[in-house]
Amino acid sequence: MKVSDKSILDAIARLRAANGAAPTYRELAAELGLASWSSARYRVLQLEVGGSVERRDRVARSVQLKGGDHV
């Protein structure tokens, strides 16, 4: 199943709102129905390169959306 960039951004925003913190890669993978946490990490890294999200390397729960609301 191909997961769209928008659905990933929406899931990040939804999980952040629900938990009060950015999601882990495992939480994001479970939310999106991805096979593994590394699939979620790969997609987040792609979004970071594209400028849609930012994160701090080696810091847990550091994914942040850049720009407007996605939910």
Residue 70 resides in a domain: no
Which residues have CB under 8 Å from 57's CB, separation 6+? none
- Range of 38's domain? 5-65
Number of Cβ within a 10 Å radius of residue 32: 19
Spatial separation of the C-alpha atoms in residues 38 and 29, rounded to whole Å? 8
Q: Is the pLDDT of residue 70 over 90?
A: no
0.75 exceeded by pTM: yes
Share the mean pLDDT of the chain. 92
pLDDT tens digits, residue range 5-33? 999 999 999 999 999 999 999 999 999 99
Q: Is residue 50 part of a domain?
A: yes
CATH number, domain of 26, equals 1.10.10.10
Task: For residue 71, name the pLDDT band (cuts at 50, 70, 90).
Answer: very low
Distance CA 51, CA 37 (A): 21
